[in-house]
Amino acid sequence: MELISCKKKNCLVCDLPDSKIKEIADSVKQGKLVIYPTETLYGLGANPFDESAVKKVYMVKRRPFDMPLSIAVRDVNMLEELAVLDNKSRKLISKFTPGPITILVMKKGNIPDILTSASPEIGIRIPDHPLALRLIEQCGPIISTSANLHSRPNPTTAQMAIADIGNEVDYCIDCGPCRVGKPSTIVQVTENSIEIIRQGAIPREAIEAALDE
């Protein structure tokens, strides 16, 4: 594993050169794994369209294959290449992204079934972290799952992630402690209700208020 550190160790600033980010992004496209920072937790990233890379993510995390993985994207345009948005989902995206929310939306045909356990839905988020966004800009959509062994404590620092899975990945980007330090809230929106699949940094009350606006 190659450890790359931002000198500033500040999640609001990323001083890694473009050439290094491109090197990592190119490796991700080729099936390599990377630990990368977000505002919530450190993520384990891989190419979501490479089924071998997706399988590696499951195996590295020792995560059951019937637990779907989410994807992080750069912006709404990239999101709409992968999924179909209804009006309620658009409201939440407009209100809370970039930020700590993952929204379950209907996937398009380019999403491999292995990512979603054959579910018609995919969880997608837009992280609020400069490094994550620069990486996605170079490599495209990237798997978004916590960089730890399944059921282990949430990795809010690169050191926590390295302790769990550092020997199994190709790169780790250390940008200091995560600013939010909690997982994203996962929300499923239907025509008549919302369901919080995982309570995270954004409370249910805030989500309900946004939908009522």
Q: For the chain, what's the residue count?
A: 213
Cβ contact 49:107 at 8 Å: no
Long-range contacts of 186-191 (CB under 8 A, 24+ apart): 186/70, 186/101, 186/102, 186/103, 186/104, 186/123, 187/92, 187/101, 187/102, 187/103, 187/104, 188/103, 188/104, 188/121, 189/86, 189/88, 189/89, 189/92, 189/103, 189/104
Q: How many domains does the chain have?
A: 1
| Amino acid at position 47, single letter | N
Least Cα distance to 77 among 126, 43, 33 occurs for: 126
- What CATH number does residue 160 fall under? 3.90.870.10
The whole-angstrom separation of Cα 126 and Cα 89 is: 13
In three-state secondary structure terms, 78 is helix
Q: What are the backbone angles phi and psi of residue 159, rounded to the nearest 5°?
A: -65, -40
Q: Enter the pTM of the model.
A: 0.95
pLDDT in tens, the chain (213 residues): 999 998 766 666 678 899 999 999 999 999 999 999 999 999 999 999 999 999 999 999 999 999 999 999 999 999 999 999 999 999 999 999 999 999 999 999 999 999 999 899 999 999 999 999 999 999 999 999 999 999 999 999 999 999 999 999 999 999 999 999 999 999 998 877 889 999 999 999 999 999 988
Residue-number span of the structural domain to which 26 is assigned: 2-212
The whole-number pLDDT of residue 60 equals 98
Q: What is the pLDDT of residues 139-177, one digit of tens each?
A: 999 999 999 999 999 999 999 999 999 999 999 999 999
